[in-house]
Structure 1
């Protein structure tokens, strides 16, 4: 399939530092590549504020119109969210398909969504984005016929009137409410089963899915593209001690994520809020790793998830820049998803971090309590189990969670302070 040709347009305000703006334009190019288009050129302008009618100034617009005539791109992509009137005016001036960063991200999400929930979330975000722009785009809607910013579950809905769109929004919201309720029940069941839940979070393309696949032996889609993973996936992961935890791979974060998408994917990101532990994956080979780390931490704060215990993983250590300096705040380790020894070290570290959240136990269990001994192996971190032939008791030392249903039985076989004899 022949790739679409795209021109990128950015406008830098005084509040945007040079390095952040440059990175934002580079990220827009990466997003365009992910949307399966080719960037033929990029143009930028510095202004004190966005032009209310055309985003960029009159002179720059004339220059852009000449470039469009000369290169005949399929689409012109603007780096910020455009108002309905800006889209209409730019479309008329440039006589080309005009989309903004939000539409581009929505298009990528439309391509990536595989599950029913993911597709509904994308359609909801597309409809909410389209609703105020129906008048703004006017007749241009009838000309849309495929390409970046137009495809996906919600594309045909753009031509319907407001009443139909609102009706569809209500319908999708109801369907998503049912899915959210199911997800909530699954999470409650996992909590009742005292399953320890770990969420992988991080900036898009930090390597979360690659780590997830190596740690759980899963086959989640992984590629060097932004938003390669859209639907959250949960798999079992066994720690060196034999204890099984649940690991969830989540959708990647991004700076300036459209508000429509944050709202639409709130239920997906709720997996993070329900986690007992967070692994924050940072691509240490990216020149803007510090900005990525800050973006994710800010979003976690907005989601009220910053109080959850976390460990920062600086991934891709084999490709790290010489100037890389880990953040002085919080615990961190440096890993490569392709080094088996790093993965083993990470499993050991997760186990060590879990112990900090658990209570130690030291008990003597009768040999006939086979079921309890099995549960100690699978539902606690059992460090040692020694059989004493004289007493026919197993001496078990390990760690257990406060809310574990095994606490009653563990207490039964724990010696009272100052007593040598155990209550058996």
Structure 2
């Protein structure tokens, strides 16, 4: 992202929200993620927003004066504003106003890399922009003539044209997204045909999902340097879902996916748009909720993650609660397992091995130990067993190769005719 010299003033209304302090702090982090320079903060402790200007008239005056003193060029608001609130505030403050939704959309637009992510973000941007189109913002409405009827009509005609263009563009992008989804469904179906369990990393943005994935790849992937996913200590470093195959020392395999992170008040347009990206999590056999255990607000982050998962229809999937960044907490022992909870550091190999053991116990719980006798003429079957299953013992008899191994239900069906039942 290019350098941004904009000075911003952060503002918000409490509305008796129990997590208001946290959301204001997070707004500051979002501003920094967009390379804004935060020069100050102003709050109003009222139960509800004013319909016309969000803030009360007195507070609007205070904000304008404070912005003048601090030389803030932009005012950030900790909620999504209505189109009229946005216009009225900009007029009364005499400077640009950006609400929380627009800020998150700007960050997403800058971070999107794949065609699918870019399409999803553009759809969300256009859906946000559509109700905010206004005749005063277009060229035809700015012609002179003393505000005559003809000019107002021209402005309204241009407005309708703009709306049609945006609506048509949204429909076109949605079709592109459906076409892309078909291709991804085919790839997902191929993965499921191989019956590899799917494990999805979910959680708050910047909790350490990508670091966890890269750590596991270092341990269990062939040529992990070719499969690393992007990681950086910033909000929304990853927007695209990455899927990688991991092979454990006993030859058992599973797929691991890294998904887009969540944030409080995530715009609904983004949630709708990113349902396709999160399909990998929806079809997972196991979720790992990665939590920034070093952040004092980690419980709020977990609540937001679980609420967002529910909003996009991801429920009733087994979950490991993985409390990351334990190395940044004093007097914390790690790795430490308690049921389906793990306190760990994604940069610690022992922690990653403990996480792997938890994953193994959950996704391979229904695997079975079986013994097969494979004729020497079926050498490809022996190769399959050695490459795809967890072989415990091999013996060579007069009639073929006798192998004791751990198999999943699909593999058991494929190898049924070779099974030794005695």
Q: Distance in 2 between matches of 1:100 and 1:85?
A: 13
Q: Distance in 2 between matches of 1:113 and 1:160?
A: 29
Correspondence for 1:118: 117
Instruction: Report deviation, 1:90.
Output: 0.4
Q: Distance in 2 between matches of 1:370 and 1:345?
A: 36
Instruction: Report deviation, 1:329.
Output: 9.7
Correspondence for 2:68: 69
Which range is displaced more, 99-108 or 342-351?
Answer: 342-351
Which range is displaced more, 313-322 or 200-209?
Answer: 313-322
Correspondence for 2:293: 284
SS in 2 for 1:200: strand
Q: Distance in 2 between matches of 1:39 and 1:164?
A: 36
Counterpart contact for 2:376–2:399, Cα < 8 Å: no
Note the alpha carbon deviations across 1:88-135, whole angstroms, 9 max, x for none.
110001010001000000000011001111111111111100000112
Correspondence for 1:9: 11
SS in 2 for 1:76: strand
Note the alpha carbon deviations across 1:196-239, whole angstroms, 9 max, x for none.
22211111111001111222233322111111101111122222
Q: Distance in 1 between matches of 2:375 and 2:385?
A: 13
Relative to structure 1, is the Cα distance of residues 71 and 250 closer, same or farther in structure 2, using a 3 angstrom cutoff?
same
User: What is the aligned counterpart of 1:311 among 299, 320, 328?
Assistant: 320
Instruction: Report deviation, 1:321.
Output: 6.0
Relative to structure 1, is the Cα distance of residues 204 and 309 closer, same or farther in structure 2, using a 3 angstrom cutoff?
same
Correspondence for 1:85: 84
Counterpart contact for 1:141–1:159, Cα < 8 Å: no
Q: Distance in 1 between matches of 2:108 and 2:354?
A: 34
User: What is the aligned counterpart of 1:270 among 279, 282, 290?
Assistant: 279
Q: Distance in 2 between matches of 1:115 and 1:195?
A: 25
Which range is displaced more, 119-128 or 191-200?
Answer: 191-200
Instruction: Report deviation, 1:34.
Output: 0.5
SS in 2 for 1:60: helix
Q: Distance in 2 between matches of 1:94 and 1:161?
A: 27
Residue 301 (str. 1) matches residue 314 (str. 2): no
Q: What is the 5 A alignment of 1:22-421?
A: 22-135=21-134, 138-139=136-137, 161-216=162-217, 217=224, 218-320=227-329, 331-380=340-389, 382-388=390-396, 393-400=401-408, 402=409, 404=410, 406-416=411-421, 419=422
Ranges in structure 2 where 5+ consecutive residues have no aligned partner: 141-158, 218-223
Counterpart contact for 1:336–1:342, Cα < 8 Å: yes
Correspondence for 1:155: none
Instruction: Report deviation, 1:160.
Output: 7.5
Note the alpha carbon deviations across 1:247-290, whole angstroms, 9 max, x for none.
11110011211111101111111111122222211111111111
Q: Distance in 1 between matches of 2:385 and 2:64?
A: 71
Relative to structure 1, is the Cα distance of residues 352 and 267 closer, same or farther in structure 2, using a 3 angstrom cutoff?
same
Instruction: Report deviation, 1:293.
Output: 1.4
Counterpart contact for 1:187–1:274, Cα < 8 Å: no
Q: Distance in 1 between matches of 2:139 and 2:99?
A: 15
- Aligned CA RMSD, in angstroms, stands at 2.7
Which range is displaced more, 186-195 or 345-354?
Answer: 345-354
Counterpart contact for 2:123–2:273, Cα < 8 Å: yes
Correspondence for 1:151: none
Q: Distance in 2 between matches of 1:360 and 1:5?
A: 64
Counterpart contact for 2:128–2:269, Cα < 8 Å: yes
Q: Distance in 2 between matches of 1:323 and 1:91?
A: 48
Relative to structure 1, is the Cα distance of residues 192 and 335 closer, same or farther in structure 2, using a 3 angstrom cutoff?
same
SS in 2 for 1:9: strand
Normalised TM-score (structure 2): 0.86
Q: Distance in 1 between matches of 2:160 and 2:330?
A: 48
Relative to structure 1, is the Cα distance of residues 374 and 74 closer, same or farther in structure 2, using a 3 angstrom cutoff?
farther
Q: Distance in 2 between matches of 1:297 and 1:367?
A: 53
Correspondence for 1:147: none
Q: Distance in 2 between matches of 1:141 and 1:322?
A: 63
Relative to structure 1, is the Cα distance of residues 166 and 74 closer, same or farther in structure 2, using a 3 angstrom cutoff?
same
SS in 2 for 1:351: helix
Size of the alignment, in residue pairs?
Answer: 394
Q: Distance in 2 between matches of 1:52 and 1:125?
A: 24
